[in-house]
Amino acid sequence: MRRVRFSVATSLDGYIAGPNGEIDWITMDPDIDFGSLMDSFDTALLGRKTYEMTWKQGGGGGMAGLHAFVFSHTLNQADCPGVVVSHSPSDTVQSLKSVKGKDIWLFGGGGLFKSFLELGLVDSVELAVIPILLGGGVPLLPPPASLARLELLGHRVYPKTGTVALTYTPVCNSFKPSPLRGPA
């Protein structure tokens, strides 16, 4: 069964971009096989803002080989050539999983990731942890506070840059959109 994988680089303190969208702090470790990673996907899922900021402008951002789905209640299909506009994450994922194919890249942003977590649609959380602290920026999981327990499935360290690749799967039904419990 093809899987929905949220795969992203993050700072050690949990930011996927700087305060102004900077990503120049992301070191590309020469030992990470990006070709193989990209080849494991044939589909990308995007939120509206991510689509408008990165995908649409770059004509697919160098990922023109991927089938792209954009989740939005406001975009019109006619205005979005080359991608499929969807209103329903659950329906789209169910439909994609009902046919054979490669894995599905939950490209982002964080809001879409959060919605997918809440709906139990994320199969894998794959972080490349860059050895840097940013102290602010675009968070991996946007506020308000929620809670998602994960199970560690694998790890790999890339010594040339100190990047740590961590692979998790969400623990079923652990997502809590409400605030955490108070101290005991």
Task: Please report, as ranges, the residues that interact with its own copies according to CB under 8 A.
Answer: 10-15, 18-25, 114, 117, 127, 129, 131-137, 139-152, 155, 157, 159, 162, 164, 166, 168, 179-184
C-beta of 97 vs 115, nearer to its own copies: 115
CB-CB contact of 67 with 55 (8 Å)? no
- Residue 93 to residue 84: CA distance in whole angstroms: 13
Quote the longest CA-to-CA distance of the chain: 53
CA distances for 167 relative to 116, 128, 139, 164, angstroms: 17, 9, 18, 10
C-beta of 23 vs 84, nearer to its own copies: 23
Q: Shortest approach of its own copies to residue 139 CB, angstroms? A: 7
Q: Shortest approach of its own copies to residue 164 CB, angstroms? A: 6
C-beta of 59 vs 101, nearer to its own copies: 59
Q: Shortest approach of its own copies to residue 49 CB, angstroms? A: 16
Q: Shortest approach of its own copies to residue 171 CB, angstroms? A: 9
81: left (phi over 0), alpha (psi -120 to 50) or beta: beta
C-beta of 60 vs 142, nearer to its own copies: 142
